[in-house]
């Protein structure tokens, strides 16, 4: 049974509530789907399918059940209303038929005016008033059977007379009732009941009934207010405190001297009830704790008995002057420590501490004034317990203990020798390196296969590529080639990413690269230092001066540069590799010939750099970065090198410069 548009509009709020209940919020789409299912009259299965498209399956099932129940209720109400409507229509049709028959009977029989009037009044009442209304003329009230009024049988004179008498009585009763209730003085025509008058009479009766009910309620409210006022008055009277009368024994008695049991008020709030229970429990614990524990069989006098009640912590105030005394003790301790430190410093300067330590180490029972018969170092080689002398005055020792031979000490390692033996590095060819790498990878692969065979590690998935796609997967690649190709490309991208991540993990950070480079550039000079002495005619060019200084710093070399006219001496110290790079810089990379300088005669000659001396020394003579020193005189330059105990470098360089100048002049 499908629903009308009006019924659907009435059902929409209820369906919306169901959507909020099962979906969590209002959704117009779900509501429209549910309303369309109800309006189309779908069964439970089809409604569940429709709702499953816009809602969860479980929620759709539960909501379908509720929708079916709602639709059944609406359909049952519609059926009942339609049944009532059909019954009412049947009644109307029957009444119209009866009216038509009465009119025909009255016309055929040619009855008197009274019967016609009664029939017309009955027809009018039945057509205008509902069934069982107050204005309806019921045939039984007139004393005539319905079959007589509705049939075509002939009436006798006695029947008509009896009917007239009954009709007059009914009309009189109705007139009296209407006269008492109607608002105007209009009188209905004899034998005809006015329907409008009957309706107004019914309205007046209902109004009177409502007024009576309202008056009863007002009276009840007044009675209730009076009762409440009286009760309040009684409470006020009873609320006044009664005089407390006590007898000689302290008991409460009334006016006649009889003992009265006072009512104890119990707490009603749960908090007060719990507080009272806690007080009772504490009292019980105190009563138990007051028992003598020494009477118990398990009492141990060595253990201090503790009460079951925890005593409240009271405030403990410090006595006056407590913290002042504590501060005085701290200040005294600080002064004592300061005094002890000063005494120890003075004793360390004067040497008293060393003497004190020696005195502590020396045994107390030793006697310095006693001279032993034999010294402990001679007791091993002496022949007896005492010193024995020969005729020539020499001490007699054990046989072979002292000879005229010289004992040579064991040979010790020279300070320049390395701690570990140095082997010449073996450089493999490219083919040999590949072979070793191949063998190592083969061994690692075998070990991995053995672990997989033993079940220690899972087997790796096949390494897929576009080229071996059909060979590895076979029928799977034919069934869905697009999916398989996407899977293969994803695996290839995953391998590429793993490779790049591994490279990134092995990649050194900038700090690590810097430290590696520094470690590579720095060399071990504990066994010896390579030294080189250069002489440059002129070092005024800032560009070349910057190269000399910067390269020395980058190679982590030490040394100094003495700036003197026509003889600039550069001394550098470092390892073999460092010295090799620096020599190439000074003798080849820097183009000294580009600059022209004036000699002693004023002629312009090309500038040049000469390697005066190179060799190795035991340790470095200079420390720190390379520094440039301007030396105005020859003596100042020699003092600079003498300060570092390498004045021979200056002598060699300066003598060579003088000889070159003499040769040029010659």
Q: How far is CA 586 from the centre of its chain?
A: 64
pLDDT tens for residues 577-627?
999 999 999 999 999 999 998 887 778 899 999 999 999 999 999 988 899
3-state secondary structure of 278: helix
pLDDT at residue 132, as a whole number: 40
Highest mean pLDDT among 137-141, 150-154, 205-209, 238-242 belongs to: 205-209
Q: List all residues 6 or more positions away from 487 whose beta carbon is below 8 Å from its beta carbon.
A: 464
pLDDT at residue 129, as a whole number: 43
pLDDT tens for residues 222-239?
777 776 776 666 565 555
Q: For residue 532, what are the β-bridge partners?
A: 572, 614
Q: Tell whether the model's pLDDT for residue 643 goes beyond 80.
A: yes
Of 166, 196, 192, nearest to 184 by C-alpha is 196
Cβ atoms within 10 Å, residue 475:
7
Cβ atoms within 10 Å, residue 257:
8
pLDDT at residue 108, as a whole number: 46
Q: What percent of the chain has pLDDT over 90?
A: 27
Q: Are 336 and 344 in contact (CB under 8 A)?
A: no
pLDDT at residue 658, as a whole number: 84
Q: Are 561 and 644 in contact (CB under 8 A)?
A: no
Where residue 113 falls among pLDDT bands split at 50, 70, 90? very low
Topology annotation, domain 526-665: Alpha-Beta Plaits (3.30.70)
pLDDT at residue 351, as a whole number: 58
Of 368 and 227, the structure prediction assigns the larger pLDDT to 227
pLDDT tens for residues 444-491?
999 999 999 999 999 988 888 888 888 888 888 788 888 888 999 999
pLDDT at residue 524, as a whole number: 82
The architecture in CATH of the region 5-85 reads: Up-down Bundle (1.20)
Q: Tell whether the model's pLDDT for residue 261 goes beyond 80.
A: no
Determine which of 23-32, 129-138, 232-241, 514-523 has the lowest per-residue pLDDT on average. Answer: 129-138
Enter the DSSP assignment of 351: T
Q: Would you say how long the chain is, in residues?
A: 666
Where residue 125 falls among pLDDT bands split at 50, 70, 90? very low
Residue extents of the structural domains in the chain? 5-85, 430-491, 526-665
Tokens of 355: 């003497």
Determine which of 387-391, 393-397, 609-613 has the lowest per-residue pLDDT on average. Answer: 393-397
Rounded distance, CA 422 to CA 114, Å? 157
pLDDT at residue 268, as a whole number: 73
Tokens of 407: 């004992």
pLDDT tens for residues 245-254?
777 777 777 7
Of 617 and 417, the structure prediction assigns the larger pLDDT to 617
pLDDT at residue 139, as a whole number: 44
Q: How far is CA 106 from the centre of its chain?
A: 99
pLDDT at residue 425, as a whole number: 82
Alpha helices in 409-533 (DSSP H): 430-454, 469-473, 475-479, 481-506, 510-521
Of 526, 592, 583, nearest to 555 by C-alpha is 583
pLDDT tens for residues 155-169?
567 777 777 788 778
pLDDT tens for residues 536-563?
999 999 999 999 999 999 999 999 999 9
Where residue 533 falls among pLDDT bands split at 50, 70, 90? very high
Cβ atoms within 10 Å, residue 615:
10
Q: DSSP secondary structure string, 86-109?
A: HHHHHHHHHHHHHHHHHHHHHHHH
Q: Are 521 and 539 in contact (CB under 8 A)?
A: no
Angle 195-239/157-181 helices, nearest 10 degrees? 50
Of 456 and 661, the structure prediction assigns the larger pLDDT to 456
pLDDT at residue 444, as a whole number: 96
Rounded distance, CA 54 to CA 29, Å? 8
Average pLDDT over residues 171-185: 66
Average pLDDT over residues 47-72: 81
Of 197 and 365, the structure prediction assigns the larger pLDDT to 197
pLDDT at residue 110, as a whole number: 44
Q: Tell whether the model's pLDDT for residue 345 goes beyond 70.
A: yes
3-state secondary structure 201-261: HHHHHHHHHHHHHHHHHHHHHHHHHHHHHHHHHHHHHHHCCCCCEECCCCCEECCCCCECC
Tokens of 491: 């695996």
Tokens of 613: 């001396």
Average pLDDT over residues 12-30: 80
Handedness of CA 180, 182, 183, 189 (dihedral sign): negative
Q: List all residues 6 or more positions away from 37 whose beta carbon is below 8 Å from its beta carbon.
A: 46, 47, 50, 51, 67
Collect contacts of 32-36 with beta carbons under 8 A, ≥24 apart: 34/63, 34/67, 35/8, 35/11
Where residue 4 falls among pLDDT bands split at 50, 70, 90? low
Q: Tell whether the model's pLDDT for residue 107 goes beyond 80.
A: no
Q: Tell whether the model's pLDDT for residue 144 goes beyond 50.
A: no
Q: List all residues 6 or more positions away from 309 whose beta carbon is below 8 Å from its beta carbon.
A: 282, 285, 286, 289
Determine phi and psi for 533, rounding to 5 degrees: -120, 120
pLDDT at residue 170, as a whole number: 78
Average pLDDT over residues 283-303: 65
Q: Tell whether the model's pLDDT for residue 335 goes beyond 90.
A: yes
For the stretch 14-41, what's the b/e string if a residue is b when 16 or more beta carbons lie within 10 angstroms of its beta carbon?
Answer: ebbebbeebbeeeeeebbebbbebbbee
pLDDT at residue 240, as a whole number: 56
Where residue 91 falls among pLDDT bands split at 50, 70, 90? low
pLDDT at residue 368, as a whole number: 54
């Amino acid at each position: 049974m499908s629903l009308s548009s009006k019924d659907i509009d009435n059902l929409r709020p209820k369906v919306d509530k169901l959507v909020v209940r099962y979906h969590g919020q209002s959704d117009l789409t779900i509501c429209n789907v549910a309303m369309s299912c109800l309006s189309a009259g779908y069964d439970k299965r089809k409604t569940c399918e429709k709702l499953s498209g816009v809602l969860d399956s479980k929620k759709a099932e539960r909501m379908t059940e509720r929708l079916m129940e709602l639709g059944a209720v609406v359909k049952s109400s519609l059926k009942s209303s339609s049944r009532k409507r059909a019954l009412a229509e049947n009644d109307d049709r029957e009444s119209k038929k009866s009216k038509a028959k009465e009119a025909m009977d009255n016309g055929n029989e040619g009855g008197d005016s009274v019967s016609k009037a009664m029939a017309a009044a009955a027809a009018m009442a039945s057509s205008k008033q509902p069934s069982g209304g107050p204005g309806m003329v019921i045939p039984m009230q007139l004393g005539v059977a319905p079959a007589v009024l509705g049939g075509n049988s002939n009436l006798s004179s006695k029947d008509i007379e009896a009917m007239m008498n009954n009709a007059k009585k009914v009309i009189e009763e109705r007139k009296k009732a209407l006269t008492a209730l109607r608002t105007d003085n209009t009188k209905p025509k004899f034998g005809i009941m006015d329907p409008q008058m009957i309706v107004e009479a019914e309205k007046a009766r209902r109004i009177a009934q409502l007024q009576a009910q309202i008056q009863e309620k007002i009276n009840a409210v007044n009675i209730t207010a009076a009762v409440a006022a009286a009760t309040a008055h009684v409470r006020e009277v009873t609320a006044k405190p009664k005089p407390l009368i006590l007898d000689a024994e302290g008991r409460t008695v009334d006016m006649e001297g009889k003992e009265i049991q006072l009512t104890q008020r119990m707490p009603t709030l749960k908090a007060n009830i719990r507080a009272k229970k806690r007080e009772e429990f504490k009292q019980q614990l105190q009563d138990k704790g007051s028992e003598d524990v020494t009477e118990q069989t398990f009492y141990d006098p060595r253990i201090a008995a503790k009460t079951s009640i925890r005593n409240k912590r009271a405030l403990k105030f410090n006595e006056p002057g407590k913290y002042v005394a504590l501060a005085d003790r701290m200040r005294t301790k600080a002064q004592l420590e300061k005094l002890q430190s000063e005494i120890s410093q003075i004793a360390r300067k004067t040497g008293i501490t060393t003497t004190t330590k020696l005195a502590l180490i020396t045994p107390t029972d030793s006697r310095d004034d006693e001279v032993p018969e034999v010294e402990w170092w001679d007791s091993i080689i002496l022949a007896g317990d005492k010193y024995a002398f020969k005729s020539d005055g020499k001490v007699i020792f054990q046989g072979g203990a002292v000879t005229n031979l010289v004992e040579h000490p064991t040979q010790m390692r020279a300070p320049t020798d390395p701690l570990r033996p140095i082997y010449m590095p073996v450089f493999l060819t490219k083919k040999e390196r590949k072979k070793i790498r191949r063998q190592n990878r083969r061994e690692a692969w075998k070990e991995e296969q053995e672990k997989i065979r033993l079940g220690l590690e899972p087997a790796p998935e096949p390494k897929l590529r576009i080229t071996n796609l059909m060979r590895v997967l076979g029928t799977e690649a034919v069934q869905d080639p697009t999916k398989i190709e996407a899977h293969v490309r994803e695996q290839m991208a995953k391998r590429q990413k793993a490779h790049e991540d591994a490279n990134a993990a092995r990649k050194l950070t900038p700090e690590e690269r810097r430290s590696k480079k520094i470690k590579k550039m720095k060399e071990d000079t504990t066994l010896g230092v390579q030294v080189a002495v250069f002489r440059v005619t002129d070092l005024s060019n800032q560009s070349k001066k910057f190269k000399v200084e910067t390269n020395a710093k980058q190679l982590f070399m030490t040394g100094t540069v003495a700036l003197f006219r026509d003889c600039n001496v550069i001394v550098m110290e470092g390892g073999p590799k460092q010295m090799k790079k620096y020599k190439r810089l000074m003798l080849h990379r820097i183009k000294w010939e580009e600059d022209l300088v004036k000699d002693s005669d004023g002629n312009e000659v090309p500038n040049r750099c000469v390697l005066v001396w190179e060799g190795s020394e035991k340790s470095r003579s200079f420390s720190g970065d390379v520094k440039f020193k301007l030396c105005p005189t020859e003596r100042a330059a020699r003092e600079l090198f003498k300060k570092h105990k390498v004045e021979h470098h200056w002598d060699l360089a300066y003598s060579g410069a003088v000889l070159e100048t003499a040769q040029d002049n010659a």
